[in-house]
Amino acid sequence: MGILGGIGPESTNNFYGRLVCMLQKRGISRNTDFPQIVINSIPAPELIHNRISAEELEPYTRGLKELDSFGVDFIVMVCNTIHLFRNEMQKQVKADILDLRKGIELELERRCIKSAVVLGTPATIKGGLYKSEGVRLLDVSEADITSLSGAIFNFNRGFEKEEQVGVVLGVAEKYLSGGAEAVILGCTELSAMMKDKELPKIDTIALLVDMVMEMLEGGGVYG
């Protein structure tokens, strides 16, 4: 399998660590039993703006093609916002790119969630990445979108991390109190920040790990 990472690097590390732990829980203990995993940690721009240009997307497409050249069976992109462009990027490579949008839809259905809030970058929130039939998504205010963008950017550069966690937690609790049954952590940095927080959430890093496990075990439907 291939991992498109570096977006940001800490989230990629978080994802890989969780994946290894899950493989160990499933009984893998010897190095020879682990799947071959190719990680391409790319130096790509943060996709935290409303509008994303073709120039900003180019490093992502190049990174996918590099993974494809290794002959991987499938690719997981450890970034939410880039999934806005997943379908067009799939046309550039032979390997299946796991569809996080489909994973979210199935998770909402499995948990019978009827109202939620998506927290993430402006593009993810405003682009309607996780719109799902039968699920009401609460509107996120411009002020909160700005706060989330700042927290994501600062966390990614290692600036006052605990303060950024507090910002995100405050925004999440606000919308949970306002009627959301769950918070969709629509950014891998947010998943890293909220990993140990007790709140009703869909952690997209954890979900990506589950999706990969299903693919490795031959039952995945995310390609």
Instruction: Order the strands of the 182-186 sheet from edge to edge.
Output: 136-137, 115-120, 182-186, 201-203
pTM: 0.94
Assess if residue 91 is contained within a domain: yes
Task: Report which residue type is found at 214.
Answer: E
- What pLDDT shows up at residue 23? 96
Lowest pLDDT segment from 82-86, 126-130, 134-138, 156-160: 156-160
Whether the predicted pLDDT of 55 surpasses 90: yes
The pLDDT of 75-82, averaged and rounded, is 96
Do 27 and 92 belong to one domain?
yes
The number of beta carbons lying within 10 Å of the beta carbon of residue 41 is 17
Do 88 and 128 belong to one domain?
no
How many structural domains does the chain have? 2
Q: Which residues pair with 5 in a beta bridge?
A: 41
- What percentage of the chain reaches a pLDDT higher than 90? 86
Range of the domain at 210: 2-100+205-216
Structure tokens at 165: 């966690």
Whether the predicted pLDDT of 50 surpasses 80: no
Assess if residue 222 is contained within a domain: no
Do 8 and 87 belong to one domain?
yes
Q: For residue 46, what is the domain's CATH number?
A: 3.40.50.1860
Q: What is the mean pLDDT of the chain?
A: 94
Do 122 and 49 belong to one domain?
no
- What percentage of the chain reaches a pLDDT higher than 70? 100
Cα–Cα distance, 97 to 74 (Å, whole number): 6
**H or E segment at 120?**
strand 115-120
